[in-house]
C-alpha cells in the first residue's frame, strides 16, 4: 500500500500528518488522494461516515490551494453546523505548516454579521451549510466566481434534510469549469441525478459494498412487545457496563420520554432533538464527546453531524421507515478499525421492515435472547471486580484512617466483608433483578403458541388447552415468576409442568397451566407454604362467567377479588 510520503505531499503537510498521528492511509484516502493530486477528474466516493473521508479530500485540497490568490478557490458543502465546524478544524490542522491559508466556516445558528466580516477579510476555502450559504450569496457577501473545486460531503444526508434545491442553486453560482467531488454513504437516485447534471465523467470510488453498512459492525435484534422496549433498553445498558451509545428514536417526544426515564433511573443519559436551543444542543454534545454521558438519545436529524469515533453501540429504539437511514445510524459505530454493535428493538409488526433492512445492508441480523436478571448481576459484578483488581491504592491520604478502619472491621470475617461490600455496590441491580420479571419469557405479539426460552439457542413450544388459576400471593409478598416456578418445581418433583401466562398483581396473581396438570397442581400447592404463608390456589373465572378462548381457563374466580383493578404482566413460562 502506498504511504503518505509517496503521495507527493509537501514537507509542511507531511509534518502535520505526522503530528496528527496518521501512520498509513485508510482505504478511502489511498484511493481518493492520488486522484485529487494526480488529475483533474470529478470524483464520486461512496464510503461510510467515519472512514477518513475528511483527510481524503482535505489534505490534497490544502496542498492545491494557492494562498497568494486572495479569493475563494474551494467550497465544501456539508449538512450540519457540527460537521461544518469539524471539517474546518481538521483543515486548519492539515494546513498548520503551509502558510497563511484562510478557512472560514459559515452555518446557521451563529452571527451572520461575523461571518460576513470573515468573508470580507477573504477566505481561500469556505466550509458551509447550504441554507446559510444561500443567505450569504443573496446578500452579496459570498462570491464564488473563482471557485475551482466544490466538495459535497455527506451528500445523502443533505438530500435527506431537504437541501436539494439549495444545492442546485449553489452549484449554479460556481463556474462551469470547476472540479466537483461528491462523498456519500449511499448512492440514491437523487445523488445520481446531481452527478449527471453537474459532474463530468466522474471517477467512482467505492469503499466496501455500495449502500452497505460498515464492515466492522455486527447487527443484532431483540423481539419484544412495544410496551417493553424501555425495559429491554435498560437491560441492554446494564448488561454492557462500558456502553457508550446513541439510542435512536423516531420522534422528539419519544426521544425526550426515553431520555427522561433513563435519567430518572440513574443512567448518565440525555436527549438530543430539534426542540433544544443551539446552546443546549452544544452543551449536550460536548458532554457526550467527553463521555460524561454514556447514552445519547436522539432523533436522526438531531444526530447528524455528531462525530464520535469510539461508540460501542448504536441502539435502534425504533426502526427507521427508510432503510437507508439505518445505514447512516449503524455507520456511527465501528469506525477507525474498531468494532461496533447495532442493536434493534423490534416488535412483530416491524419484522418485515427489519427484513427489508437486512436485504439493503446485505447482512443477516442475529436474534438475541434478552439478558436475564441473573446474567446482568453477574456481568456487573465481575466488571466491578475487574476494576477493583486494577484500582490504584497509592493514596497517602487514606493511610491515617487505616488503623481505625481495621479496628471497625476486625470482628467481620472475610466472607461477610465481601458480602457486605458487594451488596452495598449492587443494591440497585439486586433490587431491580433479584425478583424482577423475566422479560425474555414474554410471548411476541401475534404468536399463538406458548413458548419459553430454555437453554440459549433452543426453544420449546406448548400449544395445548390451558386453565387459568388464582393464587393468593403477589408482588407485596415478594412473589415473582421465579418464585412461582420454584414453588411449582418444589411441589411437583419429577414432573415438567407447562405454564403459560403469568399475571402479577400486588397481593394476588393469576397464572395459566396446561389443563391436564391443573387438578394435581392445585392439590399440591394448597398443601404448601411460601415464606411462612399458607398457599391458596383455585381455578379462576372471568367476570362475565365465560371461559377465555385464548387461555382456556374455566371454573369460578374468588368473589372477593371481583372488580379489583389488575396489573397485567404476561410471561409465557414453563416450570422445570
Q: How does pLDDT run across 541-572, given as a tens digit for each residue?
A: 765 544 443 333 333 334 333 333 333 333 33
Instruction: Say if CB 103 and CB 95 are below 8 A apart.
Output: yes
What average pLDDT does range 116-134 have in this prediction?
Answer: 94
Q: What is the pLDDT of residue 185?
A: 78
pLDDT bracket for residue 210 (50, 70, 90): low
Q: What is the pLDDT of residue 561?
A: 39
Strongest mean pLDDT among 144-158, 273-287, 319-333: 144-158
What average pLDDT does range 342-357 have in this prediction?
Answer: 86
Strongest mean pLDDT among 147-151, 187-191, 193-197: 147-151
444, pLDDT greater than 70: no
Q: What is the pLDDT of residue 478?
A: 80
380, pLDDT greater than 70: yes
Q: What is the pLDDT of residue 440?
A: 47
**What beta strand segments (E) does 401-492 contain?**
450-453, 459-462, 466-471
Strongest mean pLDDT among 66-80, 330-344, 411-425: 66-80
Residue 347 and residue 447: Cα distance in Å, rounded?
11
In the chain, % of residues over pLDDT 70: 84
What average pLDDT does range 357-371 have in this prediction?
Answer: 85
What average pLDDT does range 172-196 have in this prediction?
Answer: 86
45 to each of 57, 183, 187, how far by Cα in Å? 10, 5, 10
Strongest mean pLDDT among 158-162, 323-327, 485-489: 485-489
What average pLDDT does range 360-364 have in this prediction?
Answer: 80
**What beta strand segments (E) does 264-374 contain?**
269-272, 295-298, 313-316, 340-346, 366-367
| Domains identified in the chain and CATH numbers | 4-206 (3.40.50.300), 217-371 (3.40.50.300), 378-433 (no CATH), 439-574 (3.30.70.330)
Instruction: Say if CB 245 and CB 295 are below 8 A apart.
Output: yes
pLDDT bracket for residue 337 (50, 70, 90): low
Mean pLDDT of the chain: 81
Please list the alpha-helical segments (H only) found in 320-391. 323-330, 351-361, 373-390
Please list the alpha-helical segments (H only) found in 95-161. 112-121, 130-138, 155-160
Q: For the whole prediction, is pTM greater than 0.75?
A: no
Q: What is the pLDDT of residue 50?
A: 67
519, pLDDT greater than 70: yes
Q: What is the pLDDT of residue 317?
A: 95
H or E stretch including 67? none
Amino acid at each position: 500500500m502506498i504511504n503518505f510520503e509517496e503521495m507527493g505531499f509537501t514537507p509542511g503537510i507531511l509534518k502535520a500528518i505526522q503530528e496528527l498521528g496518521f501512520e498509513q492511509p485508510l482505504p478511502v484516502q489511498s484511493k481518493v488522494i492520488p486522484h485529487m493530486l494526480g488529475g483533474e477528474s470529478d470524483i464520486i466516493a461512496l464510503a461510510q461516515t467515519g472512514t477518513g473521508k475528511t483527510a481524503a479530500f482535505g489534505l490534497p485540497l490544502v496542498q492545491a490551494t494557492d494562498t497568494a490568490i486572495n479569493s475563494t478557490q474551494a467550497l465544501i458543502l456539508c449538512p450540519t453546523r457540527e460537521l461544518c465546524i469539524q471539517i474546518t478544524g481538521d483543515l486548519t490542522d492539515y494546513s498548520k505548516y503551509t502558510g497563511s491559508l484562510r478557512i472560514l466556516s459559515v452555518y446557521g445558528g451563529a452571527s451572520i454579521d461575523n461571518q460576513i466580516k470573515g468573508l470580507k477579510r477573504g477566505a481561500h476555502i469556505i466550509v458551509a451549510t447550504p441554507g446559510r450559504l444561500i443567505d450569504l450569496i443573496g446578500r452579496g457577501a459570498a462570491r464564488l466566481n473563482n471557485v475551482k473545486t466544490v466538495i459535497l460531503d455527506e451528500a445523502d444526508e443533505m438530500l435527506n434534510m431537504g437541501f436539494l434545491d439549495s444545492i442546485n442553486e449553489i452549484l449554479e453560482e460556481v463556474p462551469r469549469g470547476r472540479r466537483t467531488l461528491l462523498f456519500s454513504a449511499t448512492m440514491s437516485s437523487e445523488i445520481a441525478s446531481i452527478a449527471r447534471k453537474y459532474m463530468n465523467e466522474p471517477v467512482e470510488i467505492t469503499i466496501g459494498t455500495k449502500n452497505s453498512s460498515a464492515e466492522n459492525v455486527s447487527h443484532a435484534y431483540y423481539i419484544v412487545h412495544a410496551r417493553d422496549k424501555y425495559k429491554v433498553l435498560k437491560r441492554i445498558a446494564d448488561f454492557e457496563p462500558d456502553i457508550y451509545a446513541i439510542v435512536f428514536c423516531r420522534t422528539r417526544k419519544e426521544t425526550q420520554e426515553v431520555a427522561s426515564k433513563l435519567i430518572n433511573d440513574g443512567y448518565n443519559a440525555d436527549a438530543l432533538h430539534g426542540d433544544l436551543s443551539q446552546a443546549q444542543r452544544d452543551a449536550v454534545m460536548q458532554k457526550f464527546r467527553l463521555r460524561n454521558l454514556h447514552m445519547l438519545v436522539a432523533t436522526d436529524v438531531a444526530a447528524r453531524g455528531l462525530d464520535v469515533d469510539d461508540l460501542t453501540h448504536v441502539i435502534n429504539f425504533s426502526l427507521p421507515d427508510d432503510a437507508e437511514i439505518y445505514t447512516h445510524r449503524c455507520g456511527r459505530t465501528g469506525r477507525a478499525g474498531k468494532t461496533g454493535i447495532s442493536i434493534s428493538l423490534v416488535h412483530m409488526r416491524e419484522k418485515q421492515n427489519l427484513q427489508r433492512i437486512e436485504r439493503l445492508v446485505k447482512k443477516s441480523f442475529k436474534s438475541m435472547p434478552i439478558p436475564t436478571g441473573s446474567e446482568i448481576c453477574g456481568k456487573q459484578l465481575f466488571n466491578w471486580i475487574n476494576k477493583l483488581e486494577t484500582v490504584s491504592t497509592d493514596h497517602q491520604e487514606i493511610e491515617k484512617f487505616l488503623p481505625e478502619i481495621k479496628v471497625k472491621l476486625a470482628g467481620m470475617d472475610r466472607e461477610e466483608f465481601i458480602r457486605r461490600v458487594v451488596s452495598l455496590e449492587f443494591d440497585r441491580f439486586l433490587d431491580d433483578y433479584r425478583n424482577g420479571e423475566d422479560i425474555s419469557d414474554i410471548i411476541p405479539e401475534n404468536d399463538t403458541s406458548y413458548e419459553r426460552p430454555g437453554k440459549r439457542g433452543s426453544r420449546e413450544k406448548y400449544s395445548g388447552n390451558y386453565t387459568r388459576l388464582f393464587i393468593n400471593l403477589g408482588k407485596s409478598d415478594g412473589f415473582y415468576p421465579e418464585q412461582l416456578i420454584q414453588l411449582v418445581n418444589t411441589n411437583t418433583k419429577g414432573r415438567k409442568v407447562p405454564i403459560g401466562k403469568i399475571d402479577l398483581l400486588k397481593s394476588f396473581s393469576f397464572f395459566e397451566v396446561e389443563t391436564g396438570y391443573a387438578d394435581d397442581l392445585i392439590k399440591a400447592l394448597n398443601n404448601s407454604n411460601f415464606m411462612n404463608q399458607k398457599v391458596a390456589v383455585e381455578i379462576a373465572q372471568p367476570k362475565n362467567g365465560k371461559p377465555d378462548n385464548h387461555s382456556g381457563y374455566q371454573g369460578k374466580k374468588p368473589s372477593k377479588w371481583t372488580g379489583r383493578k389488575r396489573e397485567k404482566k404476561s410471561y409465557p413460562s414453563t416450570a422445570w
